[in-house]
Structure 1
């Protein structure tokens, strides 16, 4: 599994404008990951993108607008990927394993962006946070639906499906905090491990 983050709400414009926004988003990811949202200035982002602040302001009025678009991109990418991976399987066991596996692997492959969008949420405005929260709940809801389906089928054994879903998504999210490309495990190995953990959490021996 390898998939670049899917675009969120791209502004209409010419190809040059789209390229400029892509460069600004990439620069913002690096800056926010290195310094944190509050420790990063708009000038830092513009310099990292090798642009003037005036060019940046022509596309994004504030650095919070950049964080919001990054957050939408990240969460929508995960949502699209989960839907595709889960849809490839028929049994509830395979579907849950696939969901947990790709969720953990994504947070390793795109750990820099994931670290920003998962741990800088409080920097979003209330309106933007509410929109991102809808996506986060949908992702956790997918895990909850898979677990409840397995319980109804008599295959999974859990005391609380919602708490189990929250635990599994939290494990996947935390990968972005500790994963390093120079570490002992590849994203694929991490994904495989998370798939096995998910099945054990619902009482299935893999």
Structure 2
């Protein structure tokens, strides 16, 4: 749609900086709109209105609503990866690392459930190039957890027959929190994180 439009030099410079205040406001507006209406039902006009801009103002920073979806997905996955790396690095053993990872990841999916749902369930609406980029980040996230499980098996702390399948199960548990979580439920994100940390350890130590 925008490939046929001429773009001023200033617009090109701004579009290269997704961290600007206006771009950040657009990302927040897109997250709200995608969460409320879904990607396909959301228009750039919807996003612009929520951000207090004209529809043309969106294109100064993002070439399309798909690019907004990609930026949300990329930032979400990068935050998750960095969070898990930090949780693992601060632990003194594989058991402590896995407990920290599961607690942190599950809590994050409750605290940021709206964005997490977009990241997980609108993935198919990304372009092939953007899907590949996000898949690369998912592999990095998977590697953090897989390395911890592998280390736990090596030290004898974990009893796991299939490390890749167990890693997938652990991550699926945490990610699924975004699907069912609702702020109206009595369980807090912190309580959910503690419960899933225990469940994760049970999964790898069951005999």
TM-score (norm 2): 0.89
Partner of 2:33: 31
Partner of 2:8: none
What residue is the counterpart of 1:66 in the other structure? 68
| 1:150-184 deviation per Cα after TM superposition (whole angstroms, max 9, x unaligned) | 11111100121110110111111111111111112
Gaps of 5+ in 1: 1-9
Contact residue 92 and residue 146 of structure 1 kept, 8 A: yes
- Of 13, 16, 30, the residue aligned with 1:11 is 16
What residue in structure 2 maps to residue 88 of structure 1? 90
Gaps of 5+ in 2: 1-14
The answer as to whether partners of 2:16 and 2:61 remain within 8 angstroms in 1 is no
Instruction: Provide the alpha-carbon RMSD of the alignment.
Output: 1.6
In 2, are the aligned partners of 1:158 and 1:203 still within 8 Å (CA)?
A: yes
If the length of structure 1 is used for normalisation, what is the TM-score? 0.90
Shift of 1:84: 1.2
- Any conservation in 1 of the 2:174–2:196 contact (CA below 8 Å)? yes
* Corresponding residue for residue 205 of structure 2: 203
Q: How many residues align?
A: 193
Q: Which runs of structure 1 show a deviation greater than 4 angstroms over 4 or more consecutive aligned residues?
A: none
Secondary structure at the aligned position of 1:202 is classed as: helix
The structure number with the bigger radius of gyration is: 2
Q: Distance in 1 between matches of 2:27 and 2:86?
A: 25
- Contact 1:155–1:204 (8 Å) recurs in 2: no
What does residue 103 of structure 2 align with? 101
